[in-house]
């Protein structure tokens, strides 16, 4: 008989174990609580880098309060009580016992710079994933009045973030992420694209002199393999200055093996015989769709890189830049197609690299002992 869970029964197995960075954050905060002077060894880390509100509140309190006298700190818990009081203003669930736990779980306070760099690395991963997800949402936002310009602005913001991460964690040459590119989460609806591509092909067949004016459109911009192949046939005939009509395009398609997939010649002829509108209009529509699709693929690929915890910040930067290059190539063609000024990419501002300080810590053969006053009194609520 299957077990019926008691509504009042605690399902501890359903609570996921904290990720490694949670323990790193604990070690860093414990080091700073044990030896507040270690804060001077840290550069480039802020409260936003921490994964929980409680840890962020504690770091803010440590970073805001004046550091205690080192000798006095070994004798009393006055400064620790002040940190707890300040931290509770942002995270009311903080307790004195948790501060005690943080101090106890820190193996080596002198390793605080290394802990800080690990926390910053995980923060960079979260920031990159959030920016990539926001770009995906922007691509699919049907309410945007100018989707291409907005998407390109978001892509530029993502590129600026990648530059910022690279400044903190300079990429190593040849180090690419190990995660393969992920396919789109859902299959796109190609109904409108198919209809517009058919109109483009038919209109270009009826007005082949206009094909040269849209040389920025390439077969890869089409959503259907048959349509991409027919566009190649059209552009080839125009380049050769040969007659262009549905029959000559059909014959070129046969020579290229495009009908081997089961496409009926009669269907191709009918597709090419119903022109409407202008070649430039339908070409811009196809290119716009291709640009948005490229932005979606690039953003999803970057998000997939961040999902793999084995990818380092160096690899994330390298993979993200390669993915964003796909958007850049179509962006250039869009500018040629429309002649419109595009949003300028914001310049990356110099940032301080997160990393260990060059100051050497004194060597020690074993972890330092906790001061008696800290061990005995940190558990007392102020």
**Model confidence over 202-222: pLDDT tens digits?**
999 999 999 999 999 999 999
Asked if 357 contacts 42 with a C-beta cutoff of 8 angstroms, the reply is yes
> What is the domain count for the chain?
2
| Both structure tokens of 188 | 């796109």
Percentage of the chain lying above the pLDDT 90 cut: 69
Alpha carbon 380 to chain centroid, angstroms? 43
The residue range of the domain holding 75 is 18-108+364-377
Q: Does the pLDDT value for residue 183 go beyond 60?
A: no
Domain check: are 67 and 177 in the same one? no
Mean pLDDT of 245-252: 95
Is pLDDT of 356 > 50?
no
Name the token pair of 258: 């495009």
* CATH code (residue 136): 1.10.860.10
Q: Report how far Cα 374 is from the mean position of its chain's Cα atoms.
A: 42
Do residues 77 and 150 both lie within one domain?
Answer: no
Do the Cβ atoms of 103 and 34 come closer than 8 Å?
Answer: yes
Whether residues 84 and 205 fall in one domain:
no
The per-residue pLDDT for 173 is 63
Angle at 264 between CA 258 and CA 268, to 5 degrees: 75
Q: How far apart are CA 94 and CA 331, in angstroms?
A: 49
Return the pLDDT at 44.
82
| Most trustworthy range by pLDDT among 15-24, 152-161, 174-183 | 152-161
* Together in a domain, 266 and 183: yes
In a domain, 242, yes or no: yes
Mean pLDDT over each residue of the chain, to the nearest integer: 85
Give the range among 11-25, 202-216, 341-355 with minimum mean pLDDT: 341-355
Q: For residues 51 and 54, give the distance between their C-alpha atoms in angstroms, rounded to a whole number.
A: 9
306 in the same domain as 211: yes
pLDDT of residue 382 exceeding 50: no
- Note whether residue 7 is domain-resident: no
Task: Give yes or no for residue 6 having a pLDDT over 70.
Answer: no
Whether residue 359 is predicted with pLDDT greater than 50 in this model: the reply is no
**Residue 103, token pair as written in the block:** 């101090």
Q: Are residues 231 and 341 in the same domain?
A: yes
Which of 233-247, 317-331, 360-374 is the least confident region? Answer: 360-374
Average the pLDDT over 15-44 and give the result.
Answer: 92
Mark whether 244 and 268 lie in a shared domain.
Answer: yes
Name the pLDDT band for 231 (thresholds 50, 70, 90). very high
Do the domain assignments include residue 330? yes
Q: What is the mean pLDDT of residues 328-334?
A: 93
pLDDT number for residue 262 = 77
Asked whether the predicted pLDDT for residue 105 surpasses 50, the reply is yes
Secondary structure of the chain in the HEC alphabet?
CCCCCCCCCCCHHHCCCCCHHHHHHHHHHHHHHHCHHHHHHCCCCCHHHCCCHHHHHHHHHHHHCCCCCHHHHCCCCHHHHHHHHHHHCCCCCCCHHHHHHHHHHCCCHHHHHHHHHHHHHHHHHHHHHHHHHHHHHHHCCCCCCCHHHHHHHHHHHHHHHHHHHHHHCCCCCCCCCCCCCCCCCCCCCCHHHHHHHHHHHHHHHHCHHHHHHHCCCCHHHCCCHHHHHHHHHHHHHHHHCCCCCHHHHHHHHHHCCHHHHCCCHHHHHHHCCCCCCCHHHHHHHHHHHHHHHHHHHHHHHHHHHHHCCCCCHHHHHHHHHHHHHHHHHHHHHHHHHHCCCCCCCCCCCCCCCCCCCCCCCCCCCCCCCCCHHHHHHCCCCC
Residue 379 — pLDDT band, cuts 50, 70, 90? Answer: very low
The top-scoring range by mean pLDDT among 1-15, 103-117, 259-273 is 103-117
Please check whether residue 133 is in contact with residue 171, taking contact to mean a CB–CB distance below 8 angstroms. Answer: no
């Amino acid at each position: 008989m299957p077990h019926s869970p008691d509504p009042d029964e605690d399902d501890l197995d359903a609570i996921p174990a904290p990720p490694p960075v949670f323990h790193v954050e604990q070690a860093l905060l414990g080091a700073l609580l044990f030896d507040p002077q270690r804060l001077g060894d840290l550069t480039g880390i802020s409260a936003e880098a921490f994964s929980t509100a409680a840890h962020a509140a504690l770091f803010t309190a440590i970073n805001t309060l004046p550091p205690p006298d080192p000798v006095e700190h070994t004798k009393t818990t006055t400064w620790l009580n002040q940190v707890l009081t300040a931290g509770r203003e942002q995270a009311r669930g903080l307790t004195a016992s948790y501060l005690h736990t943080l101090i106890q779980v820190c193996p080596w306070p002198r390793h605080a710079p290394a802990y800080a760099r690990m926390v910053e690395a995980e923060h960079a991963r979260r920031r990159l994933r959030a920016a990539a997800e926001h770009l995906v949402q922007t691509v699919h936002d049907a309410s945007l009045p100018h989707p291409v310009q907005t998407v390109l602005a978001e892509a530029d913001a993502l590129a600026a973030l990648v530059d910022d991460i690279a400044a903190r964690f300079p990429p190593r040459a040849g180090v690419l992420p190990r995660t393969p590119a992920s396919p789109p989460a859902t299959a796109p609806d190609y109904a409108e694209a198919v209809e517009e591509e058919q109109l483009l092909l038919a209109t270009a067949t009826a007005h082949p002199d206009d094909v040269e004016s849209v040389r920025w459109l390439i077969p890869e911009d089409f959503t259907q393999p048959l349509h991409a192949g027919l566009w190649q046939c059209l552009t080839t005939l125009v380049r050769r200055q040969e007659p262009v009509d549905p029959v000559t395009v059909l014959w070129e398609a046969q020579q290229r093996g495009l009908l081997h997939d089961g496409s009926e010649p009669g269907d191709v002829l009918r597709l090419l015989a119903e022109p409407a509108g202008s070649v430039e209009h339908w070409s811009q529509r196809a290119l716009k769709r291709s640009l948005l699709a490229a932005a979606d693929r690039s953003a999803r690929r970057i998000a997939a890189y961040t999902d793999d915890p084995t990818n380092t910040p160096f690899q994330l930067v390298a993979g993200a830049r390669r993915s964003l290059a796909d958007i850049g190539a179509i962006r250039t063609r869009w500018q040629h197609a429309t002649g419109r000024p595009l949003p300028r990419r914001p310049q990356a501002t110099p940032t301080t690299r997160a990393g260990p300080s060059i100051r050497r810590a004194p060597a020690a053969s074993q972890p330092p002992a906790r001061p008696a006053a800290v061990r005995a009194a940190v558990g007392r609520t102020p």
